[in-house]
Amino acid sequence: MKLLTVIGARPQFIKAAVVSRALAVHHPKVCEVLVHTGQHYDTNMSDVFFDELDIPKPDHHLGVGGGSHGRNTGRMLEALDDLMAREQPDWVLVYGDTDSTLAGALAAAKLHIPVAHIEAGLRSFNRRMPEEINRVLTDHIASMLFAPTALARNNLRHEGIEEAKIHVVGDVMYDAALYYKKRARKPQWFDSLGLESFALCTIHRAENTDDPLRMRGILDGLALTETVIVLPLHPRTRKQMAEFGLDLPENVLVVDPVGYLEMVWLEASCRVVITDSGGVQKEAYFHGKPCVTLRDETEWVELVESGANVLVGADAERIAAMVSRANNIRKESGGFYGDGNSAKGILGKLFE
């Protein structure tokens, strides 16, 4: 049995780390061919995760990154078509909603290779997001859909996807949070900041970074919080802020993107999380931290409905108000995303 996994962006390295480990433990006879599309390529957006999470070195690196969504997807598709035809895997495994996910799923489907999609059924119902297009298309060409929650399964049902293809298995990011919590590492630079309390922020979503008005609103909101904010800055955001001539407020301490073990430490140590990331919203919940989300909608609606997460969009006043009131946001730390054994469950279904 041969499984070909396509990954390319930061959150996919973290998800693949737990699935590849479960594969080695529970299905040692399955051969995994790991393909890195190259979508993320800076050392601290890619290599650091392979090194510290013990992910096997990719068998193939496509070197496609840095272009527009369409160009990247097309170049990945072309390279994956050749590669999959040569490798002839029994299954292709893709994660989430990035351009790498869609290219992997589409290349496989065109070659009649069955596709398994981890994190299926998530919807923002906002078709202007590149991620929404990627996940809807991927779900509709996948043969096996691993939904993290019952709500995600309902989204798939409403789109007419066959019930037999859908499995609710929890979230592999919860597996990762539990497994790596004990290996969390304080960043070397942290003590020199002399902070007693801080908010942790990440910003990278295209709907924010590509819109100077939304970026301005977010930066004004961060300034108004009068809280010390640690911001590991995504390269996309750095580039866009330079392009728009936007500066960061003085209360925001910018650092380069950190590795996952340092990120887990920061999440577990902060007072409040401010983010537009999908993964970081869930991790705030896993670590029992209130989350203020810089979006108008979220795929992770259970977090908002339970009161663990508030949506503030890019509205400066609302951002500041919710960060200062963060102690009133409910702090919860488990329940929605399985029992930490999602990877094992997924592989059990795939190879049963």
Residues forming the site for ligand UDP (CB under 6 A): 10-11, 14, 202, 204, 232, 257-260, 263, 277-280, 283
Does the footprint of ligand UD1 cover residue 130 (CB under 6 A)? Answer: yes
Span near ligand UD1 by CB under 6 A; candidates 5-13, 15-23, 160-168, 344-352: 5-13
Does the footprint of ligand UD1 cover residue 99 (CB under 6 A)? Answer: yes
Give the E-state strand segments of the chain in sequence order: 2-7, 31-36, 60-61, 91-95, 115-118, 144-147, 166-168, 199-202, 229-232, 252-255, 272-275, 291-293, 309-311
- 8-state DSSP, 226: -
Q: Which residues contact 309 (CB under 8 A, 6 or more apart)?
A: 281, 284, 285, 290, 291, 292, 293, 298, 300, 303, 329
Span near ligand UD1 by CB under 6 A; candidates 27-35, 38-46, 301-309, 326-334: 38-46
Report the distance separating Cα 345 and Cα 149, nearest Å: 14
Does the footprint of ligand UD1 cover residue 40 (CB under 6 A)? Answer: yes
Among 131, 139, 267, 315, binds ligand UD1 (CB under 6 A): 131
Does the footprint of ligand UD1 cover residue 63 (CB under 6 A)? Answer: no
Does the footprint of ligand UD1 cover residue 256 (CB under 6 A)? Answer: no
Q: Which of 36, 40, 117, 204 is catalytic?
A: 204
Among 6, 9, 173, 266, binds ligand UD1 (CB under 6 A): 9
Residue 40 falls in the annotated catalytic set: no
Which of ligand UDP, ligand UD1, none sits in contact with 169, Cβ below 5 to 8 A by type? none
Q: Which residues contact 88 (CB under 8 A, 6 or more apart)?
A: 2, 113
Nearer to ligand UD1, 66 or 335 (CB): 66
Instruction: Tell me which residue has tokens 């963060």.
Output: 326
Catalytically annotated residues: 204
